[in-house]
């Protein structure tokens, strides 16, 4: 078997999220089908570093798959290309316009797209002037009716950083830990009417980014005090004052992995902690 790393980007608008679901168009199934076609084999299993919900975009997603050596070596056909390059090109010819495989490579030893990851970075785009904004990018921007005070939001966001139990911001899943390390949570006014949030953590539980943004928007609009999001966090339970924000403002920007020598150790550590 050859373990293959694949970097990909997609417009989430036309997908019911990453994870395969019967009867729905999903990124996972779309990419699996393309691999099945170029390998002339049944759809392979994909492991992704960041599962995204319906409507969420990705510019820096990473997945892996294991390909039987014989199928891998058959990829170039009669061309002189290396199998990874042949795969990249052939996937590009098959995939629809809303998914792009940015690169395919033989993964270094110990690589696991999910468990080797050190951290994930998301962005969230907010338009805070009713008549402002960029209609060309409306598919990736959420429109608010009241302006945001970015400084006030950053003051509040800072208090959420670090190793914490994010149960208040997670959709609960039986037996799963909700403890995460929030490494970065910042808002920046990129232009008049546009605020972009950057959220980075070792990992995220379900709906966590969208709930974190939903906890900070009322602070930025003056409806809540800057210490309120921390109060919600420490309460440990979901708060009806926190809106889970719409999916289309969210984009998975990057998944960061350690240097090659540390990949296997990192994966072992992550697995141990999750069990």
Q: Enumerate residues 6-25 that contact a copy of itself by CB under 8 A.
A: 9-12
Question: Which of 43-48's residues contact partners 24+ apart within 8 Å by CB, and which partners?
Answer: 47/112, 47/113, 47/114, 48/18, 48/113, 48/114
- CB within 8 A of 136, min separation 6: which ones? none
Which residue in 39, 46, 91, 215 binds a copy of itself (CB under 8 A)? 91
Q: Is 99 in the site for a copy of itself (CB under 8 A)?
A: yes
The Cα–Cα gap between 232 and 242 comes to 9
Distance of closest approach, residue 116 Cβ to a copy of itself, in angstroms: 22
Q: Name the E strands within the chain.
A: 2-10, 47-48, 57-67, 99-106, 119-127, 142-143, 162-165, 179-191, 194-201, 250-256
By CB under 8 A, name the one of 82, 100, 118, 230 that touches a copy of itself. 100
User: How large is the angle between the packed helices 228-235 and 208-220, nearest 10 degrees?
Assistant: 150
* Distance between first and last Cα of the chain: 26
208 Ramachandran zone, left/alpha/beta (phi>0; psi -120 to 50): alpha
- Based on the shown chain and the rule CB under 8 A, indicate whether residue 147 belongs to the binding site for a copy of itself: no
Residue 88 vs 164, nearer CB to a copy of itself: 88
Whichever of 138 and 172 has its CB closer to a copy of itself, that residue is 138
Q: Does 128 bind a copy of itself (CB under 8 A)?
A: no
Of 139, 172, 271, 273, which lies in the binding site for a copy of itself, with binding defined by CB under 8 A? 139
Closest to a copy of itself by CB, 88 vs 178, is 88
| x/- letters, 153..192, toward a copy of itself (CB under 8 A) | ----------------------------------------
Q: Looking at 33, 68, 134, 269, which residue binds a copy of itself (CB under 8 A)? A: 134
**Among 103, 108, 246, 258, which residue sits at the site for a copy of itself (rule: CB under 8 A)?**
103
């Amino acid at each position: 078997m050859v373990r293959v790393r694949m970097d990909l980007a997609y417009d989430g608008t036309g997908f019911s999220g990453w994870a395969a679901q019967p009867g729905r168009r999903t990124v996972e199934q779309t990419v699996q089908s393309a691999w099945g076609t170029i390998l002339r084999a049944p759809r392979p299993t994909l492991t992704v570093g960041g599962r995204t919900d319906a409507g969420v975009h990705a510019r820096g997603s990473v997945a892996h798959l294991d390909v039987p050596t014989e199928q891998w070596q058959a990829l170039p056909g009669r061309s002189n290309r290396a199998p990874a390059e042949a795969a990249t090109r052939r996937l590009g010819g098959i995939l629809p316009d809303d998914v792009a495989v940015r690169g395919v490579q033989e993964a270094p030893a110990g690589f696991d797209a999910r468990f080797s990851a050190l951290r994930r970075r998301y962005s969230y785009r907010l338009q805070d002037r009713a008549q402002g904004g960029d209609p060309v990018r409306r598919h990736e921007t959420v429109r608010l009716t009241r302006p945001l005070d970015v400084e006030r939001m950053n003051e509040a966001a800072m208090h959420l950083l670090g190793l914490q139990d994010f149960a208040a911001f997670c959709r609960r899943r039986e037996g799963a830990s909700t403890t995460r390390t929030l490494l970065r949570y910042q808002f920046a006014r990129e232009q008049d009417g546009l605020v972009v949030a950057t959220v980075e953590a070792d990992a995220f539980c379900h709906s966590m980014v969208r709930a974190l943004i939903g906890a900070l928007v009322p602070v930025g609009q003056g409806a809540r005090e800057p210490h309120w999001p921390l109060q919600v966090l420490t309460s440990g339970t979901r708060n009806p004052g926190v809106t889970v924000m719409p999916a289309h403002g969210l984009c998975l920007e990057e998944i960061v992995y350690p240097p090659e020598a540390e990949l296997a150790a990192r994966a072992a550590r992550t697995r141990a902690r999750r069990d």
